[in-house]
Chains A and B, each alone.
Chain A
Amino acid sequence: MSLLELKNITKRYGNLKALDNVNLKVEQGEWVAIMGPSGSGKSTLMNIIGCMDKPTEGEVLLDGADIAKVSDKELTAIRRDKIGLVFQQFHLVNYLTALENVMVSQYYHSIPDEEEALMALERVGLKDRAKHLPSQLSGGEQQRVCIARALINHPEIILADEPTGNLDEANENIVLDIFRQLHKEGATLVVVTHDPEVGEIAERLIILEHGVIKSETKSSAADDAVIK
């Protein structure tokens, strides 16, 4: 059974079809990249996978449970327990330190543990910046705090929306190295990106256009086959 399975997902905003009958499976430990031009439905797909939105039609099975049919309250619980979110804009709480931003995620999940939060920051190379406010961190450092926050509750899927979109090359490489490391450790990654280089690193690259999956390519590391 796939960790995540989207069956005939359609999402409408009024008359606009943001997603049109999308089918997608993500296996445990897989690294999937989703690419596409603006307005192709990437963010909508990300929101649905991230339990921040529900499809108008179709089924979203996460660990076998259909999250398209649960209440908002249950959706919040699934998001808290199973999803780790990484944002292009980082979305750190500006009045909390790097450490506290990581602990916020623990607080709403279970019990804040400063030691564990420090370890998460150490994992992304920011232990020495734990007491700094977001305004005192570079963009790359903020993104790494965001990744530490996404990792802290050991989610089943890490969803990253344009994780390198606001970073320079050096910071982009640091972030991608972290993703590589996570993938090596068995994490399941779904990355939405504009950047072909980021997309190509993934095991599987899905191209979205006008709300439909135009192509699905396995990386050179796999077999390079165009599935659709």
Chain B
Amino acid sequence: MFFRMIKGAFTRQWKKMLMIALTIALGASLATAMLNVMMDVGDKVNQELKTYGANINVVPKTSSVVDNLYEVEEGEDANTAYLLESELGNIKTIFWAFNIVDFAPFISTSAELSSGEEVKINGTWFNHHMDLPTGESLDTGIQNLRTWWDVTDGSWLNEQQAGSENSVMVGSVLAERAGIKAGDTINVNAGGKDYSLTVAGIYSSGDDADEQIYGIMDMVQEMADKDGYLSNIEVSAITTPDNELVIKAAKDPGSLTISQYETWYCTAYVSSICYQIQEVITDSVASPVRQVADSEGAILEKTELLMLLITVLSLVGSALGITNLVTASVMERSNEIGLLKAVGARDSAISGLVLTEIVITGIFGAVIGYFAGFGFAQIIGHTVFGSAIEMKPFVIPIVAVLVVIVTLAGSIPAIRMLLRLRPAEVLHGR
């Protein structure tokens, strides 16, 4: 009988039920869209921020101590310690290897142009191909890390191209001052040896690098007489915003409890990734480039807060809509409810009947809302981030719980009204 009554209510009041379902669907769709985007926005924003360069810098331990003690500026020759080039591949073996999207090693030395001008020449990877100890291969280098460099003449140096061993890229300020163009050959003297270098391109970086030269790692190592050594490594990693646990770990990972340590170690915090890099690069100190790491965290937090706010507001809106519709429905059915009470139905039985109708309607609305919301998420993904939003399965139970809470909360005023209804009042006007 109960199900006959439910079925009757649906078949004969389908317009009313459809309105309630659509209201729930609207809230559920916004919640689904926002939650899916919110769960995915971290990766999206991180990928966007990767265009602003590396967020981790790895230097030799002694160099780091000297830098910290004496605040040695970049470029000053205080660096007497080096990292081992042979350990570079280890970076892609850490727990968070997949979060390391790019990295490039650096070594620098000074050279003298034929004009007599002293310049800084940096050795690095441009688009280096490397085979990892894990058996995988990787193409990485500053072409991915220095996306803001504007190559004004020529092109990026291509390491894969034969004959690129003596190629270099020259900063725009230096190039202009020395009259260097792409395709030129420049002669430099470094470490007492003369080198004839081909200019692959002129770049504009907007910083000190505009006065420097960048060349292939092996060549500069030879100039500096540091074969197999590096002065630092820049790493670009996808990270999770910092929290209190990170602050505690930053002071001393040893102060964490075992479970805290596991949580910290197994979360892609910039500090845990740094820690893991230090574990695989001998005598190194990996530290976050705070400006980038902090802005990532700040943007993520604000974006997620905005999404959360929209989700909450849409659910509150839905709850208000449900309140109006269910209350209107109960008012319209007051005679029927009064009659059921008159023939002996308990308040709990009638509340159960009405709530069952609303919950079934809610489930229907939630299913429509979920798929509509997933569609909205894709529209947001393509419009804002230019890519699809990944479907997160755990959003389903969250949306289901939210829909149940919102539907029941929205029904409370109607249920209270229903409980107050007295059969004598609705059936006899008393």
With A52-B424, A104-B5 already in contact, the answer to whether A94 and B343 are too (CB < 8 A) is no
| Residues of chain B within 8 A of A87, CB atoms compared | 427
Q: Size band of the B side of the interface? A: 20 to 34
**Chain B nearest CB, measured from A190 CB (Å):** 15
Q: Which chain B residues (1-54) contact chain A, with CB distance < 8 Å?
A: 1-2, 4-5, 8-9, 11-13
Q: Which residues of B contact A47 (CB under 8 A)?
A: 424, 428, 430
* CB-contact partner of B2 in A44, A95, A107, under 8 A: A107
- The stretch of A24-32, A75-83, A199-207, A209-217 that contacts the partner chain: A75-83
Cβ of B309 < 8 Å from any Cβ of A? Answer: no
| Complex CA–CA separation, A160 to B4 (angstroms) | 27
Q: What 1/0 flags go to A158-183 for Cβ under 8 Å of B? A: 00010000000000000000000000
Is there contact, CB below 8 Å, between A95 and B345? Answer: no
Q: Which of A43, A73, A103 touches B428 (beta carbons < 8 Å)? A: A43
B residues less than 8 Å from A100 (CB atoms): 1, 4-5, 8
Complex Cα–Cα for A171 and B282 (A): 103
* A187 within 8 A of partner (CB): no
Q: A47-B428, A100-B8 are in contact. Are A112 and B344 (CB under 8 A)?
A: no
Do A77 and B344 have beta carbons less than 8 Å apart? yes
Q: Are B430 and A43 in contact (CB-based, < 8 A)?
A: yes
Binds A, one of B117-125, B248-256, B320-328, B333-341: B333-341
A107 to B428, CA, bound (A): 23
Q: What chain A residues lie within 8 Å of B422 (beta carbons)?
A: 52-53
Interfacial chain A residues near B427, Cβ < 8 Å: 52, 87, 89, 91
The size class of the interface chain A forms with chain B is 20 to 34
Chain A contact residues: helix, strand, loop or mixed = helix
| CB atoms of A109 and B430 under 8 A apart | no
Q: Are B340 and A108 in contact (CB under 8 A)?
A: yes
Contact among B5, B12, B338, B344 for A81, CB-based, below 8 A: B344
**How far does the alpha carbon of A113 sit from the alpha carbon of B345 in the complex, in Å?**
17
Instruction: Tell me if B247 is interfacial: C-beta within 8 Å of chain A.
Output: no
A10 at the interface (CB under 8 A from B): no
Complex Cα distance, B343 from A224, in Å, reads 35
Query: In the bound complex, do residue A76 and residue B339 qualify as a contact, i.e. CB atoms below 8 Å apart?
Result: no
Q: Is A46 an interface residue (CB 8 A)?
A: yes
Q: How many A-B residue pairs have CB under 8 A?
A: 85
Q: Closest approach, in angstroms, between the C-beta of A40 and any C-beta of chain B?
A: 14
Complex Cα gap A52–B343 (Å): 10
How far in angstroms is the closest Cβ of chain B from A19? 12
**In the complex the two chains form, is B8's CB within 8 Å of A95's CB?**
yes
Q: Check: A148 CB closer than 8 A to any chain B CB.
A: no
Chain A residues numbered 50-97 whose CB sits less than 8 Å from any CB in chain B: 50, 52-53, 73, 76-77, 79-81, 85, 87, 89, 91-96
Q: Cβ of B5: which chain A residues have Cβ within 8 Å of it? A: 93, 96, 100, 104
Question: For residue B423, which residue of chain A has the nearest CB?
Answer: A52
Q: Which residues of A contact B9 (CB under 8 A)?
A: 95
Distance between A11 CB and nearest chain B CB, rounded to angstroms: 10
Which residue numbers of A lie inside 8 Å of B, CB to CB? Answer: 13, 43-44, 46-47, 50, 52-53, 73, 76-77, 79-81, 85, 87, 89, 91-96, 100, 103-109, 112, 149, 161
Interfacial residues, chain B to chain A (CB-CB below 8 A)? 1-2, 4-5, 8-9, 11-13, 335-336, 338-346, 349, 422-424, 427-430
The 10 closest A-B pairs by CB, nearest first: A80-B344, A95-B12, A95-B8, A52-B424, A107-B1, A47-B424, A108-B345, A112-B1, A91-B339, A108-B344
| 26 CB-based A-B contacts, threshold 8 Å | A13-B430, A43-B428, A43-B430, A47-B424, A52-B422, A52-B423, A52-B427, A73-B346, A76-B345, A77-B344, A79-B342, A80-B345, A85-B342, A91-B335, A91-B336, A91-B338, A91-B339, A93-B339, A93-B340, A96-B5, A100-B4, A100-B5, A100-B8, A105-B344, A107-B2, A108-B340
